[in-house]
Amino acid sequence: MAQKPSIPKGTRDFSPTEVAKRNYIFFTIKQVFETYGFQPIETPSFENSSTLMGKYGEEGDRLIFKILNSGDYLKKVDEALLVSKNSLQTTSKISEKALRYDLTVPFARYVVQHQNDIVFPFKRYQMQPVWRADRPQKGRFREFYQCDADVVGSKSLWQEVEFVQLYDAVFSKLKLIGTTIKLNNRKILSGIAEIIGEKDKLIDFTIALDKLDKIGEEGVAKEMLAKGISENAIKKVKPLFSFKGSNQEKLNQLQELLANSVEGTQGVHDLRFVVNAIENLGLQSANLELDVTLARGLNYYTGAIYEVSAPKNVKMGSIGGGGRYDDLTGIFGLKNVSGVGISFGLDRIYLVLEELNLFDQVELPKPKVLFLNLGEQEATYCMKALLKLRKHQVKSELYPDASKMKKQLNYANRRAIQFVVIVGTSEMENKKFTLKNMQSGEQQTCNLQELVDITTSL
RNA sequence: GUGAUUGUAGCUCAGCUGGUUAGAGCGCCGGAUUGUGGUUCCGGAGGUCGCCGGUUCGAAACCGGUCUUUCACCCCA
- pLDDT tens figures, A36-67: 999 999 999 999 999 999 888 888 888 999 99
Assess whether A100 (CB) lies less than 7 A from strand B: no
Model confidence at A298: pLDDT above 70: no
The residues spanned by each domain of chain A are: 19-42+115-355, 369-457
pLDDT at A313: 84
pLDDT at A1: 39
pLDDT at A299: 67
Question: Which contacts of A210-216 are long-range, i.e. CB under 8 A and separated by 24 or more positions?
Answer: A210/A293, A210/A294, A210/A295, A210/A296, A210/A297, A212/A241, A212/A293, A213/A293
Q: Is 1.10.10.10 the CATH number for A19-42+115-355?
A: no
pLDDT at A232: 81
Which of A147-161, A164-178, A220-234, A398-412 is least confident?
A220-234
Assess whether A77 (CB) lies less than 7 A from strand B: no
Assess whether A422 (CB) lies less than 7 A from strand B: yes
Model confidence at A224: pLDDT above 70: yes
Q: What is the pTM of this model?
A: 0.90
Assess whether A345 (CB) lies less than 7 A from strand B: yes
- H/E stretch holding A127 reads strand A122-131
Residue pLDDT, tens place only, A336-345: 899 999 999 9
Compute the Cα dihedral for A262, A265, A267, A270 and give only its sign.
negative
Residue pLDDT, tens place only, A1-33: 345 677 888 888 888 888 889 999 999 999 999
Backbone angles phi, psi at A343, to 5 degrees: -140, 145
d(CA A415, CA A409): 10
Backbone angles phi, psi at A37, to 5 degrees: 90, 20
Contact A353, A379 (CB under 8 A): no
List strand B contacts in A 50-69 (CB < 7 A). Answer: 57, 59-60, 63
Angle formed at CA A75 by CA A70 and CA A79, multiple of 5 degrees: 135
Superfamily of domain A369-457 in CATH is Anticodon-binding domain (3.40.50.800)
d(CA A115, CA A153): 11
Backbone angles phi, psi at A414, to 5 degrees: -60, -35
> Crossing angle of helices A262-281/A247-257, nearest 10°?
170
Assess whether A129 (CB) lies less than 7 A from strand B: no
Confidence tier at A297 by pLDDT (50, 70, 90)? low
Give the mean pLDDT of A287-304.
Answer: 82
Bridge partners of A131, per DSSP, are A143
Q: Which ipTM was obtained for this model?
A: 0.83
Give the percent of chain A with pLDDT over 90: 55
Q: Coil, strand or helix: which one is A296?
A: coil
- Whether A19-42+115-355 and A369-457 share one fold: the answer is no
Contact A366, A321 (CB under 8 A): no
Q: Note the CA–C1' distance, A14 to B7, in angstroms.
A: 22
